[in-house]
A and B are shown apart, each in its own frame.
Chain A
Amino acid sequence: MDQTTEQPEILPPAIASRLRRLDRAEAILDPRTDRAVLDAARSYFAARPAAAPARRSRWALPLGAAAAVLLAAVLVRPLVFHTPNADDVDGSGRVDVLDVLALARMRAAGGDASGITDTRIDELAYRIVALDSSRRAP
């Protein structure tokens, strides 16, 4: 016997008795037993009444549809309806010196009646040249 790898089979009696108690034979289930249990389960569930339909509020469908339409409108609105930018005077889609010129020409043509002041023209002009994004025209 190799003394480095094998140990004598000596266990304390208490552990040996516990192991003996655990060493029980497994119950072997016959296929006929399985089938009998399955048949009993089927006949039990066949005798039960059908499940009652889930109770649903009659407003659930219209409310859901309305919520979906509202959500779609909110999401699509910026794409369909372009929000006009007050600084985009010439409507080119960008704000630059041509908008300042357009504003100044409107003021020159309409005078005070145009409602455009020199201050507004200067403010727009300073916004288009601003280096910091917080002061820049969009």
Chain B
Amino acid sequence: MSRARVLHAALALLCAAGVLSTTAQPEAGTFTMVDVFVVSDTPVAAWQVELTERRGAMQIVGIERGDDSTFRDPPFYDRVALERNATDRIVLASFSLSDAGELPRGKVRVARVHVRATGAAQPDYEARLVAAGTADGRPIDAQLSLETQPER
């Protein structure tokens, strides 16, 4: 085999390897954990939250319950939202039948949403408390807050 043929074969192999490595790379995207907190002096037995990404460019890859193990894991959510490549919102809800003395109060992390941001710009999350209630079913005028952190 001539030296030129060997050189051509090596070049072809290099090109093929380059193409294969490019296609095998995972899609670009930023993975973030969005923690949802309900802030209430009254023990919270039920909550319902709507989480929105204003640009509609989030892909939800997982949902977990918060810190209190008496709440359902994961919270109720629309399973269709996880099948979508990009969505602008999701509604989460959960409840606990524990006694008021055992329920969390103060700043309570009620859910963690694992999100893959699909756009180049920074995600712009917003949360709205749809409802929250006490152990005996009375509505609470609680506050809501979000904290985001990159996935490790």
A-to-B contact residues, CB < 8 Å: 90, 92, 96-98, 100-102, 104-105, 108, 122, 125-126, 128-132, 135
Contact (Cβ within 8 A) B93 A97: yes
Main secondary structure of the interface of B (DSSP, over half): strand
Contact (Cβ within 8 A) A98 B89: no
Give the CA-CA distance A122 to B76 in the complex, in Å: 9
Interface string of B126-141 (1 = CB under 8 A from A): 0000111100010100
Contact (Cβ within 8 A) B78 A97: no
User: Inside 8 A of B90's CB, which chain A residues have their CB?
Assistant: 129, 131
B-to-A contact residues, CB < 8 Å: 45-48, 76-78, 80-81, 87, 89-95, 97, 130-133, 137, 139
Main secondary structure of the interface of A (DSSP, over half): helix
Contact (Cβ within 8 A) B48 A108: no
A94 to chain B, nearest CB (A): 8
Contact (Cβ within 8 A) B45 A129: no
User: Inside 8 A of B81's CB, which chain A residues have their CB?
Assistant: 131
User: Inside 8 A of A130's CB, which chain B residues have their CB?
Assistant: 78, 91
Contact (Cβ within 8 A) A97 B133: yes
Contact (Cβ within 8 A) B137 A97: no
User: Inside 8 A of A122's CB, which chain B residues have their CB?
Assistant: 76
20 A-B pairs whose Cβ atoms sit less than 8 Å apart in the complex: A92-B139, A96-B48, A96-B130, A97-B47, A97-B48, A97-B95, A98-B131, A98-B133, A100-B46, A100-B93, A101-B133, A125-B93, A126-B78, A128-B48, A128-B93, A129-B77, A129-B90, A130-B78, A131-B78, A131-B90
Give the CA-CA distance A122 to B77 in the complex, in Å: 11
User: Inside 8 A of B45's CB, which chain A residues have their CB?
Assistant: 101
Give the CA-CA distance A104 to B46 in the complex, in Å: 11
Contact (Cβ within 8 A) A97 B46: yes
Contact (Cβ within 8 A) A105 B97: yes
User: Inside 8 A of A102's CB, which chain B residues have their CB?
Assistant: 137
Contact (Cβ within 8 A) A97 B97: no
Task: From known contacts A101-B137, A105-B97, infer whether A132 and B80 are also in contact, taking CB-CB under 8 Å.
Answer: yes
- The residue of chain B having its C-beta at the shortest distance from the C-beta of A132 within the complex is B80
Give the CA-CA distance A132 to B47 in the complex, in Å: 20
A3 to chain B, nearest CB (A): 81
Task: From known contacts A125-B93, A131-B81, A131-B90, infer whether A96 and B76 are also in contact, taking CB-CB under 8 Å.
Answer: no
Give the CA-CA distance A92 to B47 in the complex, in Å: 16
Contact (Cβ within 8 A) A129 B47: no
Q: Which of B76, B95, B97 contacts A129 (CB 8 A)?
A: B76
